Amino acid sequence: MSQSLNLMMTLLRPKRRKKYLARILQQVSKTNPSTFLDVCKSIGINQVRYQFMGKYPMLLDTRGQSIAEEVLEKGCFQASLFETLSRLYANRDVCFVNIGANIGTSCLSAHAMGFRDFIAFEPVLSNFELLEYNLNQLRETSQIELRREAVGDVAGTGSINLNPTSIGRHSFVRDFHKGQEEVPLVRLDDVLPAKRGFLFMDTEGYELNVLEGARQYLRNHADGICAEITPALIGQNNVAEIDDILQENFPLLYDADGKRYASLKEVRALQEGHQVDIIGLKAAR
């Protein structure tokens, strides 16, 4: 059956929608995921089911843009980053603390690595609902704590700017002029338990705020950190401040390929303004 016919059948026979969408996924997910997602959105399909890494059933938001496209094309998200992390950091008996957990792809990848204790923060309601759905399957084998909160340097509430085209790009620092959502704000030093952990964060320009509110946790409990750093959102001055915090707590710094640096000043891509994933560790494997 052709892709267009399968899509037509999702409308004509809604009770069998999953069956026809599964057929379409098999046909186009690896070859043209963006077209598939565009068609889904155009006919009002906001979520599709998928087997993440071939083992975790999950719901994908068709508005996920790069996240959804990469999952459909490769079966996972940020595979090379997690491969590097797995090689550099051997301990799995710590809490995987995920800031900006989105719909759960990072936690699922960490579970596949062997982590079994999770605390995940995601402030935006639509993302959080998918996060709950996608991680509930881990509760039989893992300790899961999900918090619908943003993380920063102050406690209270804040207005996060909603990206209309990508659910992974909602931001406190970039205004898309398409609406906001009022969300609770917490500091990690106030809410995390006093136990060892690994901090994995993607907060769209709010990284320095997160770190400023986690100084005690970083010093006393964090074995390591992985952070997406985007100079265009943060600014070079704030990148330098992040560098100071990382060097104070994590003497071993690496990029997503596993190349080691003495400081972020040595990361040429960052100095040129490119987005880079940085891994910081207290000790070598």
pLDDT per residue over 120-175, tens digit each?
Answer: 999 999 999 999 999 999 999 999 999 999 999 999 999 998 988 777 788 888 88
The span from the first CA to the last CA of the chain, in angstroms, equals: 51
Inform me whether the pLDDT recorded for 24 exceeds 80. no
Q: What is the structure's pLDDT at 153?
A: 96
CB 118 within 8 A of CB 145: yes
Q: What is the structure's pLDDT at 28?
A: 62
Q: What is the structure's pLDDT at 1?
A: 46
Angle at which helix 125-135 crosses helix 105-113, to 10 degrees, equals 30
Confidence of residue 45 (pLDDT cuts 50, 70, 90): confident
CB 70 within 8 A of CB 77: yes
Going by their DSSP bridges, the two strands 260-261 and 252-255 should be labelled as: antiparallel
pLDDT per residue over 70-117, tens digit each?
Answer: 998 899 999 999 999 999 999 999 999 999 999 999 999 999 999 999
Structure tokens at 261: 């640096």
**What percentage of the chain reaches a pLDDT higher than 90?**
68
Mean pLDDT across the stretch 238-257?
A: 95
Q: What is the structure's pLDDT at 25?
A: 62
DSSP code string of 64-131: -THHHHHHHHHSSSSHHHHHHHHHH----SSEEEEES-TTSHHHHHHHHHT--EEEEE--SHHHHHHH
Q: What is the structure's pLDDT at 17?
A: 62
Of residues 31 and 184, more confidently modeled? 184
**Spatial separation of the C-alpha atoms in residues 140 and 151, rounded to whole Å:** 27
Tracing tokens 């690896």 back to the chain, one arrives at 30
Mean pLDDT across the stretch 168-184?
A: 86
Residues 6+ positions from 267 with CB-CB distance below 8 Å: 255, 261, 276, 278
Q: What is the structure's pLDDT at 258?
A: 96
Q: What is the structure's pLDDT at 65?
A: 80
Inform me whether the pLDDT recorded for 26 exceeds 60. no
Inform me whether the pLDDT recorded for 182 exceeds 60. yes
pLDDT per residue over 186-226, tens digit each?
Answer: 999 999 999 999 999 999 889 999 999 999 999 999 999 99
Q: What is the structure's pLDDT at 178?
A: 83
Across the beta sheet with 180-186, what order do the strands follow? 150-151, 180-186, 156-161
The closest alpha carbon to 102, from 118, 120, 83, belongs to 120
Burial class (CB in 10 A: 0-12, 13-18, 19+), 158: middle
Q: What is the structure's pLDDT at 129?
A: 96
Sketch the domain layout of the chain as residue ranges. 3-74, 79-281
Q: What is the structure's pLDDT at 51?
A: 92
**Spatial separation of the C-alpha atoms in residues 158 and 64, rounded to whole Å:** 23
Average pLDDT score over the chain: 89
Residues 6+ positions from 174 with CB-CB distance below 8 Å: 161, 204, 205, 233
pLDDT per residue over 259-277, tens digit each?
Answer: 999 999 999 999 999 999 9
Q: Write out the CATH class of domain 79-281.
A: alpha beta
Structure tokens at 92: 């799995």
Nearest 10 degrees: CA dihedral of 22, 23, 27, 28?
Answer: -40
